[in-house]
Amino acid sequence: MIYGGAGSVHRFFLPDLYYFQSSVKHGHQTYGPHSPVGHENSYLVGNEESVVFFYGRETPGIVLSDELDVGKLDSERAHSYRIAGSRKDLTGKFWYDGEYNNVLFQTPPVEDDGVAFAGWSEFKVKIDPANRGVRLRRRLDKDVNRQKANVYVDGRRVLERAWYTVDHDKTYRDIRWVDSDFEIPAKYTAGKSKIALKIENANGPGIPWNEFHYWIFSNKL
């Protein structure tokens, strides 16, 4: 902490890749009068500077192929969505961590309906037949930590890995939304225009799996 002077911090993320649809909004965290206790008045907001170097590709490397809005009846029907065993319907009015987390700036919550279950869910989605693998993205409530599931594609279990959401910080001021990704290798999806997905809860007794929204991306690289 520096009082009455200036300082600098350098962080390099050279191997990191950022996937985006059409644009990128870059920001950095500042601390000011509305920051959590422990960071009060550390910096004078508005006097900070940063530099970013961007290197991008001309052609898209990944495309959005389908979406499933869990909790919305029309979307569930369109994707033949069903759950084995008991279903608990959920409603969330939470925030993602980051600039719009309602701490530094007052922002409205992201509202979404979803479900939690101990068994499994199943649904059908569209993909690009020219895919080189598929990426699943799921919105979840991280208040239930360390969620794990087995993923099946057209009845075949993806053996390379389970879908595990790593241990997150304890929820704070309803900052509970997290998007978790799962990569399906091309050997399960290549040449197909539609796949049936099964998400099997592997958390163990008493720990539910929750899901609010799915985005299905087709990898092109």
Q: Per the structure, how many domains does the chain have?
A: 1
Q: What is the pLDDT of residue 18?
A: 67
47: in domain: no
Beta strand spans in the chain (E): 62-69, 82-84, 87-96, 110-117, 120-126, 134-141, 148-153, 156-157, 163-164, 175-184, 194-201, 209-211, 213-219
The residues near 133 (Cβ < 8 Å, ≥ 6 apart) are 183, 184, 185, 186, 189, 219
User: Which tokens go with 199?
Assistant: 């998400």
Residue 170: the pLDDT is 75
Residues 72-80: contacts with CB under 8 Å, at least 24 apart: 72/113, 76/123, 79/123, 79/124, 79/125, 80/122, 80/123, 80/124, 80/196
Residue 77: which domain range? 62-219
In a domain, 14, yes or no: no
- Structural domain contains residue 42: no
Q: CB 14: neighbour CB atoms within 10 A? A: 5
Alpha-carbon distance of 137 to 117, in angstroms, equals 18
* Residue 167 included in any domain: yes
How far is the first Cα of the chain from the last one, in angstroms, to the nearest whole number?
A: 44
pLDDT at 45: 55
Question: For the whole model, what pTM was predicted?
Answer: 0.82
Residue 174 lies inside a defined structural domain of this protein: yes
* pLDDT string in tens for the chain (221-residue length): 445 555 666 777 776 666 666 777 776 665 555 555 444 455 555 566 777 777 777 788 899 999 999 999 999 999 999 999 899 999 999 999 887 888 877 899 999 999 999 999 999 999 999 999 999 999 999 999 889 999 999 999 999 999 998 877 778 889 999 999 999 999 999 999 999 999 999 998 889 999 999 999 999 98
In a domain, 23, yes or no: no
Backbone angles phi, psi at 171, to 5 degrees: -65, 145
Q: Do the domain assignments include residue 159?
A: yes
Question: Does residue 202 lie in a domain region?
Answer: yes
Task: Indicate which CATH number applies to the domain containing 142.
Answer: 2.60.120.260
